[in-house]
């Protein structure tokens, strides 16, 4: 079963910034870096719109507190976002013999993982769960 070609976006999240790699169906990348704050989230969404990639499959690793707000923002924007266990991405990188360890290279690796595996969409936890976890 062949799936329709879709653009995938890998997101590598750090404390102050996040690197994104938009992987087009024809194999070309577009990369950009945004500040990891609400203004950066809006800039990223606007950039996706300019790239005609609002229907892209977005994928990021679970990075604890650093990525939580971004994932929630993207889900609220009705964008398709998957949040993956970093061990899965790391194992996938080993199968590619990927040695580059830069944020830009990591974002591209996450985009390739997303394109190949089409992971399930992330569903934000309900506020009741989030509140209970904080207590």
80: in domain: yes
34: in domain: yes
71: in domain: yes
pLDDT for the residue numbered 45: 98
Find the CATH number of the domain harbouring 69. 3.30.420.10
43: in domain: yes
Residue numbers of the domain that contains 72: 8-134
The model carries a pTM of 0.87
From CA 22, how far away is CA 33, in angstroms rounded? 11
% of residues, the chain, pLDDT over 90: 71
2: in domain: no
72: in domain: yes
Residue 17 pLDDT greater than 80, yes or no: yes
15: in domain: yes
58: in domain: yes
Long-range contacts of range 40-45, CB-CB < 8 Å, 24 or more positions apart? 41/69, 41/70, 41/73, 41/74, 44/18, 44/20, 44/70, 45/73, 45/74, 45/77, 45/79
Per the structure, the count of domains in the chain is 1
CA-closest candidate to residue 111, choices 7, 8, 42: 8
Q: What's the average model confidence in pLDDT over 49-72? A: 93
Residue 2 pLDDT greater than 50, yes or no: no
Residue 132 pLDDT greater than 80, yes or no: no
């Amino acid at each position: 079963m062949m799936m329709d070609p879709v653009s995938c976006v890998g997101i590598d999240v750090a404390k102050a910034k996040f690197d994104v790699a938009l992987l087009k169906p024809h194999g070309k990348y577009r990369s950009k870096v945004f500040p990891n704050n609400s203004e950066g989230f809006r800039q990223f969404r606007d950039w996706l719109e300019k790239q005609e990639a609002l229907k892209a499959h977005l994928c990021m690793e679970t990075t604890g507190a650093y990525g939580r707000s971004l994932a929630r923002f993207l889900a609220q924007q009705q964008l398709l976002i998957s949040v993956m266990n970093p061990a899965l991405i790391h194992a996938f990188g080993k199968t590619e013999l990927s040695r580059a360890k830069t944020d830009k290279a990591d974002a591209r690796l996450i985009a390739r993982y997303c394109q190949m595996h089409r992971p399930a969409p992330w569903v934000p936890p309900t506020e009741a769960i989030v509140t209970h976890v904080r207590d």
